[in-house]
Structure 1
Amino acid sequence: MQDQITSVRETLNRDEQFAALAQVYLELHLPLHLALEAARADLRYLAGSASIAEAA
């Protein structure tokens, strides 16, 4: 499962990741401004976790 997540994350560029995350939050019925804010926060988290994984 982790390999699938890694390959998907590598194939999507940053804008596509942001759009996908925002779409998930919109489907959960968050207001647009909160969905965008949550997507930005998660994208920063995902970028940080990739850096940590590479360092290990």
Structure 2
Amino acid sequence: MRLFHCTYCGHKLRFRQSACSQCYQPTPYYNRLRFWLILTLAVLAAAAAFALSLIV
């Protein structure tokens, strides 16, 4: 599935690629798995902190 475009050449990128397959430039950070894992963990931690603040 191609969700993102290369910022240099406009080529459609596959998810989790670290470099464009056409121009070999690095892909945007939000196209990488590490970004989405960190974002998900941060949202879950914020939701847990909010839920705990409602209980106390």
Q: TM-score range by the shorter chain?
A: 0.3 to 0.5
| Higher-Rg member (1/2) | 2
TM-score, normalising length: structure 1: 0.43
Higher relative contact order (CA 8 A, sep 6+): 1
Q: Which has the higher helix share?
A: 1
